[in-house]
Structure 1
């Protein structure tokens, strides 16, 4: 049995991970849900209520081994108290909403003080060479540096940066292919048979990993007795852009391609303002549908640039540690969701 604390436990991917942990019938989970302080503005859109806003733990389902606890993430002493006896802290905090990465750094410091053995920061992709293309993820790099510096002289806390590429479930949009994660079409929209690609990108690779496989690997990682790898790539199903187009044709769903010229896709360095620590203020909760759509369009362009630099071609660190784990492959997933539809 492992005692695990999950920060931002109301987030969609966190809920998938919690379900996977519960299914093992082995672990004790503390699900931390955010308590909005008096000076904060609540979310504007009701659809975000259950994922980002202030939550009463009583609103969450009663799950075996799971305790839901409110916290503002502002009081380090309170976090240290919550982390007493905890062996693993998993963080799903949206870094673009954590100005200066203050909250996640406080989580790490509290975990160290409480004697937590392992910490998994909010991560996802190989961001180092593509920060100008995905500036809203600047906090991920900041946290990586923070963890590296903590362990510079001696190992203070073990950590792994789970990197998963892209959610394969997006390829099934608008079909519901997971319990909690909402989808949107990214690069390949199988429903509309439309693809958005950069010129010259046909050999670019995206690793697609289902949220179920991500949760499955995390559930095994928390009880892994060996040392966690600092870079924890989870390599579900790597597919080039060319291969994805061929899969669409083979399934009778050929794509109309919108080709973007690289010179027309602008990238910018992260916001250097000291008070945000380089983080870009993006809060989908307070956006109008039009603003959200515009952000998704902008983000897709930046992500495609990052894909060309290998950001979504993640490594297979956890695959090698867990050689018996069978990952869902893109072709099988597509046939299951779209075959015969």
Structure 2
């Protein structure tokens, strides 16, 4: 049993991980929140709610006393200057925390996706922290794209909110870069990710710096074929010019709306084109293709194949 602190755990991914940790009945879990108390009806048995002032290094260090592992789900584009997450890291070091996982939970690289710039900065911050000597064991958990997003507009897990992407199984359509059919993408279920995180927390060896979690990996062209089998019909694939996308112009018959809960309505409106162009270019650059460190460290674990998951998720739906 270890004491685990979760920062930003009220978000989609954080809640999935918390539920999985609670289900083990093995660990003491602290949920760090800027709010005084959880909203009515949102308390979770086995989780201690703690108000955290991310602007105070001293108070954070006090909260983290006795904590073994910190999992951060702080939204990068909402953390101006990475102030909250930097203070969390510094407080973890001061409190003697053994392990830290920054807010990653997605791609291996950030090509064409400037909203992830904060994540790139945190990678450098942690790297420099251990430059002279190791003061904090940390890892970058990277599952690629949650295959759960491909069930939009239907929910396929308790907490992951459906999100429109350029891969639209519901309307049988797909946006990709011209010549991008062979680009590879990693698709991992939220459930597999949560189970691997539990195994990682209980892992007695040293964490690798990069923690790729490769549920399944296919080319974009293969994903179109999977979509056509799963949905029982042809997909309308629009292949866009990279030059247009790099200029922020999406010349397609449709554009997925930016509906992620971390965005305000104003941000959703402003970022829709930028997000679409960036994600399409990012997929072409294989930014969502991740390594397989935890597949190797957990050879007994069987990951869910993307097509198997999608067949079950779309069964009986129009």
**1:267, CA displacement in angstroms?**
5.8
Counterpart contact for 2:213–2:295, Cα < 8 Å: yes
What does residue 55 of structure 2 align with?
74
What does residue 14 of structure 1 align with?
14
**1:258, CA displacement in angstroms?**
1.9
**1:294, CA displacement in angstroms?**
5.2
What does residue 125 of structure 1 align with?
107
**Cα offsets for 1:214-269 (capped at 9, x unmatched):** 1111111111100000000010111111111111222313211122111111269x
1:259 lines up with 2:239 in the alignment: yes
What does residue 202 of structure 2 align with?
223
**1:58, CA displacement in angstroms?**
5.8
**1:3, CA displacement in angstroms?**
0.5
CA 207–293 in structure 1, closer or farther in 2 if over 3 Å, else same: farther
Once the two structures are superposed, the pairs formed by residues 272-291 of structure 1 within 5 Å of their partners are 285-288=263-266
Match of 1:320 among 283, 293, 296: 296
**Cα offsets for 1:80-137 (capped at 9, x unmatched):** 1110000000000011111111110100000000000000001121225x1xx11111
Cα RMSD over matched residues?
1.9
Gaps in structure 2 of 5+ consecutive residues: 249-259
Once the two structures are superposed, the pairs formed by residues 38-77 of structure 1 within 5 Å of their partners are 56-57=37-38, 59=40, 61-77=42-58
SS in 2 for 1:259: strand
**1:284, CA displacement in angstroms?**
5.2
SS in 1 for 2:246: coil
CA 258–243 in structure 1, closer or farther in 2 if over 3 Å, else same: same
Counterpart contact for 2:183–2:219, Cα < 8 Å: yes
**1:190, CA displacement in angstroms?**
1.2
What does residue 167 of structure 1 align with?
146
**1:59, CA displacement in angstroms?**
3.1
Counterpart contact for 1:159–1:230, Cα < 8 Å: yes
Instruction: Tell me how far apart the structure 2 counterparts of residues 17 and 237 of structure 1 sit (CA, whole Å).
Output: 20
SS in 2 for 1:57: coil
Match of 2:92 among 111, 119, 141: 111
Instruction: Tell me how far apart the structure 1 counterparts of residues 224 and 263 of structure 2 sit (CA, whole Å).
Output: 33
SS in 1 for 2:179: coil
Gaps in structure 1 of 5+ consecutive residues: 36-54, 269-281
CA 99–294 in structure 1, closer or farther in 2 if over 3 Å, else same: closer
Counterpart contact for 1:160–1:230, Cα < 8 Å: yes
Counterpart contact for 1:284–1:292, Cα < 8 Å: no
**1:283, CA displacement in angstroms?**
9.2
Instruction: Tell me how far apart the structure 2 counterparts of residues 300 and 286 of structure 1 sit (CA, whole Å).
Output: 17
CA 230–60 in structure 1, closer or farther in 2 if over 3 Å, else same: farther
Instruction: Tell me how far apart the structure 1 counterparts of residues 11 and 41 of structure 2 sit (CA, whole Å).
Output: 12
What does residue 69 of structure 2 align with?
88
What does residue 241 of structure 1 align with?
220
